[in-house]
Amino acid sequence: MEKIEQSHIRNFCIIAHIDHGKSTLADRIIEMTGLLTSREMQAQVLDNMELERERGITIKAQTVRIVYKARNGEEYIFNLIDTPGHVDFNYEVSRSLAACEGAILIVDAAQGIEAQTLANCYLAIDHDLEVVPVINKIDLPSAEPARVKDEIEDIIGLDASDAPLVSAKNGINIEQVLEQIIEKIPAPSGDENGPFKAIIFDSVYDAYKGVIIFCRVFDGSVQKGQEILMMATGAKADVVETGVFGAGRFIPSDGLSAGMVGYITASLKNVQDTRVGDTVTLADNPCKEALPGYKKVQPMVYCGLYPSDGAKYPDLRDALEKLQLNDAALQFEAETSIALGFGFRCGFLGLLHLEIIQERLEREYSLDLVTTAPSVIYHVYKTNGSMVEVTNPSNLPDPSEIEHMEEPVVSAEIMVTKEFVGSIMTLCQERRGIYIGMEYMEETRALLKYELPLNEIIYDFFDALKSRSRGYASLDYDMKGYMPSKLVKLDILVNHEEIDALSFILHADTAYERGRKMCEKLKKEIPRQLFEIPIQAAIGSKIIARETVKAMRKDVLAKCYGGDISRKRKLLEKQKEGKKRMRQFGSVEIPQQAFMSVLKLDDDSK
Partner 1 sequence: MKISENAPYSLSLYIHIPFCTRKCLYCDFLSFQADSMKKEKYVTALLNELSAWEQILKKSIKNPYNNNNTGLLYFNTVFIGGGTPTCLEPSQLLRIGQAVNKYTDENTEFTIEANPGTISGSHIEVFKKIGINRISLGVQSANNSELERLGRIHTYEDFYKSYQKLRKTGFDNINIDVMAGIPGQTLESYKDTLNRIAALNPQHISAYSLIVEPGTVFYKMQELGTLEAADEDTDREMYHITKELLKNYGYTRYEISNYSMQGKECIHNIAYWTGKNYLGAGLGASSYIDGIRFTSTKDFGKYLEIFSNYLPENNTLLQIQENINEDYIKLSDTDKMEEFMFLGLRMCKGVSKSTFADRFGVEMDKVYGDIINHYLQNNLLAEDTKSGRIYLTDKGLDISNYVLSDFILK
Contacts with partner 1 by CB under 8 A lie at 530, 550, 552-566, 568-569, 571-573, 575-576, 579
Residues 532, 539: contact at Cβ < 8 Å? no
Selection from 367, 376, 313 nearest residue 343 by Cα: 313
Nearer to partner 1 by Cβ, of 207 and 556: the residue is 556
Residues 286, 229: contact at Cβ < 8 Å? yes
Nearer to partner 1 by Cβ, of 1 and 551: the residue is 551
Nearer to partner 1 by Cβ, of 251 and 572: the residue is 572
Q: How many CB atoms lie within 10 A of CB 216?
A: 29
Nearer to partner 1 by Cβ, of 251 and 571: the residue is 571
Residues 6+ apart with CB under 8 A from 207: none
Residues 6+ apart with CB under 8 A from 510: 432
CB of 516 to partner 1, least distance (A): 23
Nearer to partner 1 by Cβ, of 207 and 558: the residue is 558
Residues 536, 493: contact at Cβ < 8 Å? yes
Nearer to partner 1 by Cβ, of 311 and 530: the residue is 530
Residue type, 501: A
Residues 6+ apart with CB under 8 A from 556: none
Phi/psi for 380 (5° steps) reads: -110, 115
Exposure string for 186-206, b = 16+ CB within 10 A, e = fewer: eebebebeeebbbbbbbbbbe
Residues 517, 492: contact at Cβ < 8 Å? no
Residue 137 sits at the vertex; the CA angle it makes with 136 and 143, to the nearest 5 degrees, is: 110
- Angstrom distances, CA of residue 298 to CA of 208, 275, 321, 473, 544: 29, 12, 18, 27, 35
Nearer to partner 1 by Cβ, of 398 and 577: the residue is 577
Selection from 139, 263, 127 nearest residue 201 by Cα: 263
- Angstrom distances, CA of residue 561 to CA of 567, 568, 570: 8, 8, 13
Distance CA 517, CA 513 (A): 6
CB of 32 to partner 1, least distance (A): 51
Distance CA 14, CA 96 (A): 10
Sign, CA dihedral 481-482-483-486, equals positive
CB of 526 to partner 1, least distance (A): 14
Exposure string for 406-422, b = 16+ CB within 10 A, e = fewer: bbbbbbbbbbbeeebbe
CB of 550 to partner 1, least distance (A): 8
CB of 575 to partner 1, least distance (A): 4
Across the strands, what pairs with 440?
A: 446
CB of 367 to partner 1, least distance (A): 21
CB of 312 to partner 1, least distance (A): 19
Nearer to partner 1 by Cβ, of 423 and 593: the residue is 593
Distance CA 47, CA 55 (A): 10
CB of 555 to partner 1, least distance (A): 4
Nearer to partner 1 by Cβ, of 207 and 530: the residue is 530
Residues 359, 291: contact at Cβ < 8 Å? no
CB of 467 to partner 1, least distance (A): 23
CB of 469 to partner 1, least distance (A): 30
Distance CA 560, CA 463 (A): 44
Nearer to partner 1 by Cβ, of 449 and 568: the residue is 568
CB of 581 to partner 1, least distance (A): 13
Nearer to partner 1 by Cβ, of 161 and 566: the residue is 566
Nearer to partner 1 by Cβ, of 436 and 571: the residue is 571
CB of 531 to partner 1, least distance (A): 10
CB of 592 to partner 1, least distance (A): 18
Nearer to partner 1 by Cβ, of 479 and 557: the residue is 557
CB of 551 to partner 1, least distance (A): 10
Selection from 309, 306, 276 nearest residue 293 by Cα: 276
Phi/psi for 440 (5° steps) reads: -85, 120
Selection from 248, 58, 28 nearest residue 134 by Cα: 28
